[in-house]
Amino acid sequence: MPEVYLDHYAATQVLPEVVDAMQPLLRDGFGNPSSLHGWGDSAREALEAAREKVAALIGANPAEIIFTSCGTEANNTAVKGIAGAAKKKGNHLVISAIEHFSVMHSARTLEKSGFEVATVGVDEYGMVNPEEVRAAIRQDTVLVSIMTANGETGTVQPIEEIAEIAKAKGVPFHTDAVAAAGSIPLDVNDLGVDALSLASDLMYGPKGVGALWVRKGLRMMPLLDGGVQEGGRRGGTENVPGIVGMGTAAELAAEHMDERAAYLSSMRDALIEKLPAAIPHLNLTGHPARRLPWNASFVVEFIEGEGMLLFLNMQGIAVSSGSACTSRALKGSHVLSACGIPAEVARGSLLFSFGLDNKPEDVDYVLEVLPPIVQRLREMSPLYDKFLKSGGDQNSDVQ
Amino acid sequence: MPEVYLDHYAATQVLPEVVDAMQPLLRDGFGNPSSLHGWGDSAREALEAAREKVAALIGANPAEIIFTSCGTEANNTAVKGIAGAAKKKGNHLVISAIEHFSVMHSARTLEKSGFEVATVGVDEYGMVNPEEVRAAIRQDTVLVSIMTANGETGTVQPIEEIAEIAKAKGVPFHTDAVAAAGSIPLDVNDLGVDALSLASDLMYGPKGVGALWVRKGLRMMPLLDGGVQEGGRRGGTENVPGIVGMGTAAELAAEHMDERAAYLSSMRDALIEKLPAAIPHLNLTGHPARRLPWNASFVVEFIEGEGMLLFLNMQGIAVSSGSACTSRALKGSHVLSACGIPAEVARGSLLFSFGLDNKPEDVDYVLEVLPPIVQRLREMSPLYDKFLKSGGDQNSDVQ
Amino acid sequence: MIKIATYSETVMDHFMNPRNVGEIEDADGIGEVGNPVCGDMMTFYVKVDDEDRLNDVKFKTFGCGAAIAVSSMVSEMAKGKTLDEAMQIGRKDVADQLGGLPDNKMHCSNLGADALHKAIEDYRNKKKES
Amino acid sequence: MIKIATYSETVMDHFMNPRNVGEIEDADGIGEVGNPVCGDMMTFYVKVDDEDRLNDVKFKTFGCGAAIAVSSMVSEMAKGKTLDEAMQIGRKDVADQLGGLPDNKMHCSNLGADALHKAIEDYRNKKKES
Ligand SMILES: Cc1ncc(COP(=O)(O)O)c(C=O)c1O
Ligand SMILES: Cc1ncc(COP(=O)(O)O)c(C=O)c1O
């Protein structure tokens, strides 16, 4: 049986070059970068070299990169830290309805300490309208945080335009680039943002590492109080092997970005073209053109995602779903809901996320395996039954 | 030239068994524990197996272990999270003057949001007096946080007694066991504590992983808002390879605790016995008996630690110092200061932290190399000059 | 890479090869339940013989793997039982027969017994009316 | 494992082999500075010849590696200079000659020039008085 991993949005493989780069730091190079001796010194050098590579991926000054333990920590640090430091200036934030929970729930936590949060919506393609951001900004807004691209729908946001608006209004702008970094070209100065989060494990680096870039001069309270690591902006002994892995992953991502994107999007486009032809009542989610090169996301009407995942898994295919039943919290995707997709349709969500290990044949295998699975589940579904009895194919519509 | 690493308090080697245990998770086992397919499943199994091992090290229920990215994160989560969740009950904390900055600065941050912090001192041996903790607890105290053992002085605190007092007063008690875990036997139920922090990189595990144990029923706000990983108490994709490494490190620490302690303390005791005989005006810091098996810490009068570190490094010996000049923040050790050691004496601090790779000969090498270094630096020192001119050896005293 | 530890083997078996899926055209009773929390839906069809025994039970289910397995298990447990016996089948019995359900799925997906009971009540109501 | 990137090679050289350490018993001037922030202390001793030139300079220093290297470098830069020339030696000159100092050490350890100037002033004061 083939093994077809199509869940790179949940986790990417760690590239062999990356694993190799980490090994010396896990073995002889175990020193603490803060130590004043040779062991410490080589660890510090490895750390700073990795910082330069991560900075290079996003066109940033290495001194402005803070390493964190994951994208979630980067987002918590940015949202709570920038808002917290600006408390005297105001207590209003602007985020979007499709932010990752690490941004959204950080904003909720701020609400408990007196902040107000404005949440701008998205259109049917999951796009934020910059004009809505403009309208949401107030005199007392201290932070705008809108993600660079959404991993569930693949939609890439108009970051430059939002940045321009925020800048004109004098409000710092953070963007969560966890799903985008390494996949599409990003330059913090071209984008015009003030802070940007990224993570290692979505770009073929190890888990347990993320980074936050914060433009010099922007005040931010640390989230992790402690020692003076990371310029006093993040306490805790640095995860040197992980950081070095992220550095190598970032370097490779920068070097091979175009060819990777071309390769991934060819498979993505094949699936987007052929799957709706092979399965009726299946629709693309997210933006048809402005999307991450690896993302092909759909909703399949009348059935629930978990069943599809289990059957696909039996056939060696790994994917994910934004369905309520596949989330540990048993909540449907807030992203699909923000795109206006009805709750029962969103339950049939299927997310294929391509990676460097995929082959064009993988698309064919999905096209072979998935239609009978959908058919089988629909035959069990009382919703499909009702749909057929109520006139069938004539009046189906999702979007 | 020999290479003698005596700075295990800054970083321990990662044991070969630990590195080996991590490899599969860095390579094929890259799945996300939250994913609903085989790749996710094996990652989740590895994660839960590691949780059991870490729990076993401290006699805890695995379901009550939260993995973090370092000791600092564990401490920030405990202090801010437990106090934050109890805000309605009161806004008073008790900590000690020798806490790690991750506890102390977390308490400072809480002060900014309206908490009051009582700081209990220590005696000349760096010991907290439980009766002072009792006296410091008020009606509105919502958390006591006193470390299990201090890594700089090696002093092990009377945790059971403090826990009993806190319990009698109905106040949750957190203990930072980062310096102690893996080195001395700890059982959360015997200790009677309610929350305990530990870290991987001080027990021959990888950097980038820590853990926080919180007794069931104790309310705590997450520090990292995000997904529902770690039971909703810590968002962010889990650092599976690191966590697995910590699990193996914890398992090995539990298994070999006694023999390790015997081996390390034999070297520690030899140095503690012989170094003061070889170097005049050098004194032990911390408690003579109740100390961590690997810690031999001293102050050398009339000179500054950094110079000793640099010369020792030239001879292949790695140690650390609590001197102001060796800290990136250029502040002298708050721990030595709390022990009543005068600032200029504390500047000659030297911390030898033994590890499993050390050999008894390493002590001899230090005894051979260090005295001439001290002599050389003293010859340059105007303080030593004054001391000699003012009557010399007759009236020296440190403690 | 195909094991899913979330579910017991019995759950997976019933999910992969559900027993009694379908509709009974001339059912004696139909029971429909929908879970307002996560939106699972189940429809049970029963056929009752002269001795008040369930001689056929079929179902359709929209929901996760557990919901499908629960429906299948309930249908199997119910078949051949008298109506009174079938009314005794409780949620916990079903979960036990399945070798357990994940904690977070106990509430949402374990509606099969309810749907069965509704179908039996539907039959009894119809009988009363006629 | 012996490289310490914190300090330049020149700093390490002056730290490991400091020039002019010691005391001048019959010094013409003595300058003592102590840094209140981090507590470094330096004592400079100067010997002045008939042409107002520093024909000997010695020092003692309590402080970090940089403080010792700074003292050594200052003593070397000063030796043979006239008093007026020596008074021109500034902190930045010393750091430059050392190939730079770490940012966080610029302030604390770079007191050598001050101590030298104090020693020269001490000599000038004494001369005035006599
Ligand atoms: C007692 C204590 N607590 C907390 C920490 C912080 O640990 P980390 O650097 O892993 O965050 C340390 C570090 O040495 C420590 O000794
Ligand atoms: C857009 C976005 N932000 C943040 C995160 C959180 O990243 P992590 O799980 O590494 O903390 C994710 C995770 O997938 C993400 O997609």
C-contacting residues in B 40-59 (Cβ below 8 Å): 41-42, 44-45
For A31-35, A78-82, A281-285, B325-329, which range has the lowest pLDDT when averaged over its residues?
B325-329
Residue B285: which residues within 8 A CB-CB, separation 6 or more?
B126, B152, B153, B297, B298, B299, B336, B339, B341, B349
Residue B197 CA: which ligand is closest?
1
What separation in angstroms does the CA of B103 have from each of B120, B198, B200, C93? 14, 13, 18, 49
pLDDT single digits (tens) A65-102: 999 999 999 999 999 999 999 999 999 999 999 999 99
For A141-145, B106-110, B394-398, D11-15, which range has the lowest pLDDT when averaged over its residues?
B394-398
Instruction: Identify any residues that bridge with A92 across adjacent strands, giving them in sequence order.
Output: A116, A141
Q: Has residue A38 got a pLDDT over 50?
A: yes
Share of chain C above pLDDT 90, in %: 73
Q: Which residue of C has its CA nearest to A317?
A: C2
Residue A183: which residues within 8 A CB-CB, separation 6 or more?
A149, A202, A203, A253, A257, A260, A261, A264, A292, A293, A294
Cα distance between residue D93 and residue A7, in whole Å: 59
pLDDT single digits (tens) C65-95: 999 999 999 999 999 999 999 999 998 999 9
Output the CA A349–ligand 2 centroid distance in Å: 19
Residue nearest to atom 7 of ligand 1 (CA): B71
Share of chain A above pLDDT 70, in %: 97
Q: Has residue A145 got a pLDDT over 80?
A: yes
Q: At what angle do helices D9-16 and D65-78 cross, to 10 degrees?
A: 90
Task: Give me the mean pLDDT over the C24-40 stretch.
Answer: 86
pLDDT at D58: 97
pLDDT at B397: 46
Q: Has residue B98 got a pLDDT over 90?
A: yes
Is there a contact between B45 and C5 if contact means CB atoms under 8 Å apart? Answer: yes
Best probe of the D interface among A41, A42, A45, A48, by most D CBs < 10 A, is: A41
Find the CB nearest C1 among B38, B44, B45.
Answer: B38
Is there a contact between A39 and D1 if contact means CB atoms under 8 Å apart? Answer: yes
What's B128's DSSP letter? B
Number of separate domains in chain C: 1
Q: Has residue A399 got a pLDDT over 90?
A: no
Closest CA to D8 of D100, D85, D74: D100
Residue among B77, B95, B102 whose CB has most ligand 1 atoms within 8 A, to mutate: B102
Block residue for tokens 């009161």:
B90
Task: Give me the mean pLDDT over the B63-88 stretch.
Answer: 97
Q: Which residue of B has its CA nearest to D16?
A: B311
pLDDT at D103: 82
The answer to whether D9 faces chain B, any CB pair under 8 Å, is no
pLDDT at A257: 98
Please give the interface size between B and D, counted as residue pairs whose CB atoms are below 8 Å apart: 71
pLDDT single digits (tens) B326-368: 766 667 899 999 999 998 899 999 999 999 999 999 999 999 9
Residue C1 placed within a domain: no
Output the CA A70–ligand 2 centroid distance in Å: 8
What separation in angstroms does the CA of C78 have from each of A381, B104, C32, C57, C58? 20, 63, 16, 7, 10
Residues on chain D touching A39 (C-beta within 8 angstroms):
1
pLDDT single digits (tens) B11-32: 999 999 999 999 999 998 999 9
Please tell me which residue in B135, B262, B310, B325 is annotated as part of the active site. B325
pLDDT at B1: 85
Q: How confident is the model at residue A392 (pLDDT cuts 50, 70, 90)?
A: confident
Residue C123 placed within a domain: yes
What separation in angstroms does the CA of B20 have from each of A242, B54, D93? 16, 18, 52
Q: Which tokens in the block code for residue B235?
A: 């968002």
Find the CB nearest A382 among C2, C4, C43.
Answer: C43
- Is-contact B239 B94, C-beta < 8 A? no
Residue D88 placed within a domain: yes
Residue among A79, A122, A155, A178 whose CB has most ligand 2 atoms within 8 A, to mutate: A178
Residues with C-beta less than 6 Å from any ligand 2 atom: A 70-72, 75, 100, 102, 147, 151, 176, 178-179, 199, 201, 210; B 236-237
The CATH number given to whatever domain includes residue C81 is 3.90.1010.10
Phi, psi of A189 (to 5 degrees): -80, -40
Q: Which residue of D has its CA nearest to B312?
A: D2
Q: How confident is the model at residue A398 (pLDDT cuts 50, 70, 90)?
A: very low
pLDDT at B364: 98
pLDDT single digits (tens) B151-196: 999 999 999 999 999 999 999 999 999 999 999 999 999 999 999 9
Averaged confidence pLDDT in chain C: 90
pLDDT at A391: 83
Q: Has residue A394 got a pLDDT over 80?
A: no
Q: Is the ipTM of this complex over 0.85?
A: yes
Residue A399: which residues within 8 A CB-CB, separation 6 or more?
A124, A283, A340, A341
Strand order in the sheet with A65-68: A65-68, A210-214, A195-199, A173-176, A141-145, A92-96, A116-120
- Is-contact B209 B199, C-beta < 8 A? yes
Residue B278: which residues within 8 A CB-CB, separation 6 or more?
B367, B370, B371
Residue C4 placed within a domain: no
Residue C3 placed within a domain: no
Residue D53: give the domain boundaries: 9-129
pLDDT single digits (tens) B207-230: 999 999 999 999 999 999 998 889
pLDDT at A296: 98
Best probe of the B interface among A76, A77, A95, A237, by most B CBs < 10 A, is: A237
Residue C116 placed within a domain: yes
Q: Is the CB of A34 under 6 A from ligand 1?
A: no
Residue B341: which residues within 8 A CB-CB, separation 6 or more?
B285, B299, B398, B399
End-to-end CA gap in chain C:
56
Averaged confidence pLDDT in chain A: 95
Please tell me which residue in C23, C38, C88, C96 is annotated as part of the active site. C38
Q: Has residue B398 got a pLDDT over 50?
A: no
What's A205's DSSP letter? S
Q: Which tokens in the block code for residue B358?
A: 């050390």
Output the CA A203–ligand 1 centroid distance in Å: 29
Output the CA A238–ligand 1 centroid distance in Å: 11
Task: Give me the mean pLDDT over the A371-377 stretch.
Answer: 97
Cα distance between residue A242 and residue A208, in whole Å: 7
Q: How confident is the model at residue B86 (pLDDT cuts 50, 70, 90)?
A: very high
Task: Give me the mean pLDDT over the A318-322 stretch.
Answer: 92
pLDDT at C130: 78
Q: How confident is the model at residue A397 (pLDDT cuts 50, 70, 90)?
A: very low
Averaged confidence pLDDT in chain B: 95
Assign D42 to helix, strand or coil: strand
User: One-letter amino acid identity for B228?
Assistant: V
pLDDT at C2: 46
Catalytic annotation on D38? yes
Residue B179 CA: which ligand is closest?
1
Residue C2 placed within a domain: no
Residue D4 placed within a domain: no
Residues on chain A touching C68 (C-beta within 8 angstroms):
307, 380
Please give the interface size between A and B, counted as residue pairs whose CB atoms are below 8 Å apart: 238
pLDDT at A276: 97
